Structure formats: C-alpha cells, structure tokens
C-alpha cells in the first residue's frame, strides 16, 4: 500500500500557503478616456498606479496634472484623487480650491473599463464647505492600432458650433454675410464660419450664379481661404483659428458685391478678473427687425479676453422698451440668469423693439454690475399711425362741436391743427421715453400707442399744442437757471 505524499498536516499547510498568496494584479497601464472627454495616461509599477492628464479642459487642469494615485488589489483600486472646485474659487479660496479625496475604483473583469465612486463636497462664497453627494466617474481604455501617443479622437472642426440657417429666399443678391457659429472660442479651437449671399430684406438668399469668395484674416487663419457658393445654393463654410487671444477680423470679397468684414474673439484660459460691456451700435429704428447688439466680454488680469475655464453665470436686468435675447439663437427673452459657456469669453446678446425709446441692460457678475443704455428711434410707421389716430381725433372733436354756418376753411384749419397736434403729442411721448426707461414692448403696442397718442392730440388740437409749448418753456427756464448757478 502506497503512503500518501502529504499527510493531514501537509495538506493544511499547503492550503494555507495557497490562501496567503496575493491576488494577481491586472496590468492596466496605458491611455484611458473619462466620460467628460478628458484623456489620462496610467502608469503601473507592481500594485502602485498613477494617473495623469494628457488631454483635459476646464477647472484649471492642464496636461501633466495628477488625476489620482494609489494601489490596486485584484480588480479594486484604492486611490487619492486630485479635485478642483470651479476656477473662480482659485482666487476666492486659494487654499481650498485644489484638494485630495479618497476614491474606490472598480476595474471590470475584461480590464478595459473602470468606475470610480467618491463623496463630493460643496464650497460657498464665504469659503465654508459642506458635504455633497456621491459621484461616479467612468473610464474606458483607449486601444491604439499602432504604438503611438494619443491624439484627440474627434476632429475639432466637427465640434465647432454651426449657426442657425434661415430658409433661403429668391431675392436679388446685394452683399456677403459672414455668420459665425459662436462669437468666441479658446485659442487654437476653430470657429465655424458660414458664408452667405444676402439680399435687401433677407439674410440668406438663393445664389443666382456661382460666387467665388476669397477670405483673409488680419490675426488668424481661414481654412479654406476660398469657397464657392454654387448657383441655386445658399451657403459655404470655412473655419477660423488663431494662436493669440484677442479680436480677429475676417474679410470676404467676390466679384460684383461689396466686401464684407466680421469680427470674432479668441480667448485665453486664465482666471476671470473683470468684465466689460462692449457697445457696438448706439441706436436702431424701432421696426421690430433691426437689432442693437451688446457683448459681455470677460478679461484676465492682463486685460486679455479669457474663458476662466468656467461657466459664467450672469445676472441680467433689462429695462425700458424692447426685448433682449441671445444674439445667435434668437429664442425669445433671455432669463435673469444668463450663462456664458466655459469655452467662450464673449456673451452676445441683442435687443429688438417695435416701440421707440430707451432700453437699458444691467449685467451682474461676481458682485459687480455694469449698465449700458441704447435708443430705439421713431419710424415712419409710428408717424403714419399717429396721423391716422389724429384724423380720428379731429373728426370726433369736430362732430362734437359741429354747428351750421361753419366754413370749409374752418374745417381745413382744424384738421391741420389736429394733425400737427397728433404728431406733436406722439413726438413728445417719444422724447419722454427716450429720456426715461419706460417698459414697453410688443407688436400690438407698437400700433396702438402711436394711434392713441395721435388720437389724443387730434382731439385736443390747439390745447395739446399749448400744453406742449408750456412744458418746453418751463424746461428751458429750469435749464437756464441751472446754468447760471
């Protein structure tokens, strides 16, 4: 009978040795992509792992910064992760902006995916911190067909925003329009630029022939630098880039049409230290079509435009006539919390009105506020409706005072006085609305208001003119007295 090679004690010892052996450590070094688009490179030495950013955008991170470091056991990682609060807290709370927190990471059985779970925290403007919620971050391994460093997986031109494209109409071509998908972008990032042929009343018309358009830039590069809008087509596209922050102009020219110029802005990524409101047009007719644009520009300590690598929440308080809206998508009145994305340094907004008068925009950012005011001017439509209202007022007044024996000359004289008074009352109301920010908007109001003002002036006639004359004389006297003091 053969004796066993191992006795009971040997079996126990062998089992203990097997159980004491550490679990196999997966090999996980290489490039990984986070779900927010960032790319990291993980290096591994035994069970020690370090993750560093290769491609990252936002919150002040840059390539080479630490993502996490720790150990791996089996398919579990225990690491210390590097976190940033929003970039504005780098100035407000510099000692707390960057912090380290514990993360538990699970590696999939296939070894190509990871899920990190970590407890967040909240920071307030007074730099106090409170507990936040649990967060989950997902990683996916990037596999390259050849041994080469990672490149951005998506063509950056495909990420550039495309502007809204109104339906083209058949109309005589009169000018070139350059329409960017966004008014600003980070240095090195492309801005999509649509090239249209426009008419007298339409921004985009069907081309009546082939238009070969040459494009140049003063401080950037345009690719391609020549585009063609084919007959029957409506647009062509190009891309603008710049390696330096600041304003960049694009010039377009073609045979048979006047040249066109369009400005855009390229941005740094430093912290925001100030902002300004850029006036581009002082006034516009109150025709419901012509707009008054306004740009909110964010700047760093050097005065260069910058994104701050953060979404910039603005308080917005419009007053006076008209309606303010985002300049590019034109989707109605903007909310009191107007945001500028983290990859842009310009917030384009615009006002449109059917009522003439003053409009004011107040923008608030980081406890600072700045205001600008603009003027919508009277249009011939307002004059026409005030005349119609004045005629109605004149007829009502003459009907109430009609008596036999009145001559034609009397009626003509009263009608002329009523027309003049109706227009004068409308202009007097406009003068007041041009001086004070009176809230008024809407196409219906743009018709009713001049008609009612004209009706009042036409009905009162000479009394309206006398009242306006007295107010004007009183204002002049007050102004004269103030000058002497």
Q: How far, in Å, CA of 274 to CA of 299, rounded?
A: 5
Residue 365 clears pLDDT 60, i.e. is over it: yes
Host H or E run for residue 11? helix 8-20
* pLDDT tier at 330, thresholds 50, 70, 90: low
DSSP string, 299-325: E-TTS-BB-TTS-EEEEEEEEEBSEEE
pLDDT for res 249:
93
Q: How far, in Å, CA of 441 to CA of 322, rounded?
A: 5
- Higher pLDDT: 151 or 356? It is 356
Q: What is the mean pLDDT of residues 136-144?
A: 85
Q: Give the range among 55-59, 132-136, 436-440, 475-479 with minimum mean pLDDT.
A: 475-479
Q: 3 in a domain, yes or no?
A: no
**Residue 186 shares a structural domain with residue 248:** yes
Q: Are 116 and 35 in contact (CB under 8 A)?
A: no
The tokens for 391 are 């005629």
**Residue 384 shares a structural domain with residue 373:** no
The tokens for 139 are 């990683």
pLDDT for res 449:
92
**Residue 301 shares a structural domain with residue 219:** no
Q: How far, in Å, CA of 446 to CA of 462, rounded?
A: 26
User: Could you say which of 328, 354, 377 is where a domain stops?
Assistant: 377
**Residue 390 shares a structural domain with residue 370:** no
Q: 345 in a domain, yes or no?
A: yes
Q: Which residues lie closer than 8 Å to 55 by C-beta, 6 or more apart? A: 37, 38, 39, 63, 150, 152
Q: Torsions phi, psi of 94, nearest 5?
A: -60, -30
Q: Which runs of consecutive H residues, i.e. helices, occur in 85-142? A: 89-92, 94-97
Residue ranges with strand state E in 321-416 = 323-326, 337-340, 346-352, 357-365, 368-377
Residue 89 clears pLDDT 60, i.e. is over it: yes
- Higher pLDDT: 61 or 355? It is 355
Length reported for the chain: 485
* pLDDT tier at 176, thresholds 50, 70, 90: very high
- Higher pLDDT: 328 or 314? It is 314
408-435 and 462-484 helices, crossing angle to 10°: 40
* pLDDT tier at 111, thresholds 50, 70, 90: confident
Residue 1 clears pLDDT 80, i.e. is over it: no
Q: How far, in Å, CA of 479 to CA of 352, rounded?
A: 33
Q: 24 in a domain, yes or no?
A: no
pLDDT for res 144:
66
- Higher pLDDT: 11 or 71? It is 71
Q: How far, in Å, CA of 306 to CA of 329, rounded?
A: 22
Question: pLDDT tens across 51-75, in order?
Answer: 988 888 777 788 888 899 899 988 8
Averaged pLDDT of the chain: 83
pLDDT for res 216:
94
Report the relative pairing of strands 30-34 and 129-141 from DSSP bridges: antiparallel
Q: How far, in Å, CA of 265 to CA of 306, rounded?
A: 10
Residue 9 clears pLDDT 60, i.e. is over it: no
pLDDT for res 478:
45
Q: 148 in a domain, yes or no?
A: no
Q: What is the mean pLDDT of residues 375-385?
A: 93
Q: How far, in Å, CA of 409 to CA of 458, rounded?
A: 17
Q: How far is CA 67 from CA 37, 54, 71, 98, in A?
A: 14, 10, 14, 12
**Residue 175 shares a structural domain with residue 259:** yes
- Higher pLDDT: 477 or 406? It is 406
pLDDT for res 17:
46
What's the CATH code of the domain at 132? 2.40.128.30
**Residue 137 shares a structural domain with residue 180:** no
Taking the chain, what is the end-to-end CA distance rounded to the nearest angstrom? 132
Q: How far, in Å, CA of 484 to CA of 474, rounded?
A: 16
User: Could you say which of 235, 267, 299 is where a domain stops?
Assistant: 267
Q: 150 in a domain, yes or no?
A: no
**Residue 161 shares a structural domain with residue 242:** yes
Closest among 351, 352, 356, 359 to 385, alpha carbons compared: 356
**Residue 178 shares a structural domain with residue 202:** yes
Q: What is the mean pLDDT of residues 122-145?
A: 84
Q: What is the dihedral of CA 401, 406, 412, 414, to 10 degrees?
A: -30
Residue 406 clears pLDDT 60, i.e. is over it: yes
pLDDT for res 378:
94
pLDDT for res 483:
40
Q: Domain range holding 479?
A: 380-484
pLDDT above 70 as % of the chain: 86
- Higher pLDDT: 135 or 329? It is 135
Q: Are 267 and 188 in contact (CB under 8 A)?
A: no
* pLDDT tier at 92, thresholds 50, 70, 90: confident
Q: What is the mean pLDDT of residues 162-181?
A: 90
Q: How far, in Å, CA of 465 to CA of 353, rounded?
A: 28
Task: Quickly count: other Cβ atoms within 10 Å of residue 217's Cβ.
Answer: 18
**Residue 342 shares a structural domain with residue 386:** no
Residue ranges with strand state E in 64-190 = 66-73, 76-84, 98-107, 113-123, 129-141, 175-180, 184-186
**Residue 246 shares a structural domain with residue 177:** yes
**Residue 119 shares a structural domain with residue 62:** yes
Q: 276 in a domain, yes or no?
A: yes
Q: 394 in a domain, yes or no?
A: yes
Q: 126 in a domain, yes or no?
A: yes
pLDDT for res 179:
92
Q: How far, in Å, CA of 213 to CA of 195, rounded?
A: 9
What's the CATH code of the domain at 318? 2.60.40.10
Question: pLDDT tens across 96-106, in order?
Answer: 888 888 899 99
Q: How many domains does the chain have?
A: 4
**Residue 277 shares a structural domain with residue 369:** yes
Closest among 217, 213, 218 to 196, alpha carbons compared: 213
Closest among 454, 442, 339, 346 to 395, alpha carbons compared: 454
Q: Which residues lie closer than 8 Å to 175 by C-beta, 6 or more apart? A: 197, 198, 257, 258, 260
Task: Quickly count: other Cβ atoms within 10 Å of residue 415's Cβ.
Answer: 18
380-400 and 443-460 helices, crossing angle to 10°: 40
Host H or E run for residue 215? strand 211-217
pLDDT for res 15:
46
Host H or E run for residue 247? strand 246-254
User: Could you say which of 377, 401, 417 is where a domain stops?
Assistant: 377
């Amino acid at each position: 009978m053969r004796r066993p090679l191992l006795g009971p004690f040997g079996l126990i010892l062998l089992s203990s040795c097997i159980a004491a052996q550490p679990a196999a450590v997966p090999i996980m070094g290489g490039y990984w992509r986070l779900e927010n688009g960032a790319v990291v490179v993980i290096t591994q030495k035994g069970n020690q792992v370090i993750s560093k950013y290769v491609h990252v955008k936002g919150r002040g991170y840059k390539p080479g910064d630490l993502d996490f470091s720790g150990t791996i056991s089996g398919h579990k990682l225990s690491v210390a992760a590097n976190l940033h609060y929003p970039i504005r807290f780098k100035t407000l709370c510099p000692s707390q902006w960057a912090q380290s927190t514990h993360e538990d990471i699970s590696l999939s059985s296939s070894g190509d995916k990871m899920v990190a779970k970590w407890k967040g925290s909240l920071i307030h403007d007074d730099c106090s911190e409170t507990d936040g919620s649990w967060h989950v971050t997902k990683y996916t391994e990037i596999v390259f067909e050849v041994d080469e460093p990672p490149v951005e997986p998506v063509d950056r031109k495909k990420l550039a925003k495309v502007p809204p494209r109104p339906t083209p109409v058949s109309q005589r071509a009169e000018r070139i329009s350059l329409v960017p998908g966004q008014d600003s972008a980070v240095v090195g990032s492309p801005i999509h630029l649509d090239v249209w042929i426009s008419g007298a009343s339409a921004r985009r018309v069907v081309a009546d022939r082939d238009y070969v358009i040459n494009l140049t830039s003063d401080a950037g590069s345009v690719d391609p630098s020549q585009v063609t809008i084919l007959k029957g087509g409506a647009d062509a596209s190009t891309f603008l880039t710049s390696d330096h922050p600041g304003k960049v102009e694009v010039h377009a020219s073609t045979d048979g049409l006047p040249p066109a110029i369009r400005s855009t802005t390229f941005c740094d990524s430093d912290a925001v230290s100030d902002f300004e409101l850029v006036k581009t047009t002082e006034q516009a007719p109150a025709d419901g079509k012509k707009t008054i644009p306004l740009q909110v520009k964010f700047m760093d300590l050097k005065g260069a435009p910058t994104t701050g690598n953060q979404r910039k929440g603005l308080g917005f308080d419009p007053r006076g006539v008209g309606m303010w809206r985002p300049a590019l998508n034109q989707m109605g009145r903007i909310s009191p919390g107007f945001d500028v994305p983290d990859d842009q340094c310009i917030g384009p907004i615009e006002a449109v009105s059917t009522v003439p008068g003053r409009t004011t925009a107040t923008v608030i950012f980081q406890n600072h506020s700045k205001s600008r005011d603009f003027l919508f001017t009277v249009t011939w439509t307002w004059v026409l409706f005030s005349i119609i209202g004045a005629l109605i007022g004149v007829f009502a007044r003459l009907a109430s005072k009609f008596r036999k024996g009145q001559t034609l000359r009397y009626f003509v004289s009263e009608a002329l006085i009523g027309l003049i008074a109706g227009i004068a009352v409308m202009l007097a109301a406009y003068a007041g609305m041009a001086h004070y920010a009176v809230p008024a908007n809407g196409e219906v109001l743009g018709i009713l208001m001049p008609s009612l003002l004209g009706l009042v002036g036409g009905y009162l006639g000479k009394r309206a003119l006398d009242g306006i004359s007295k107010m004007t004389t009183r204002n002049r006297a007050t102004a004269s007295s103030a000058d002497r003091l």
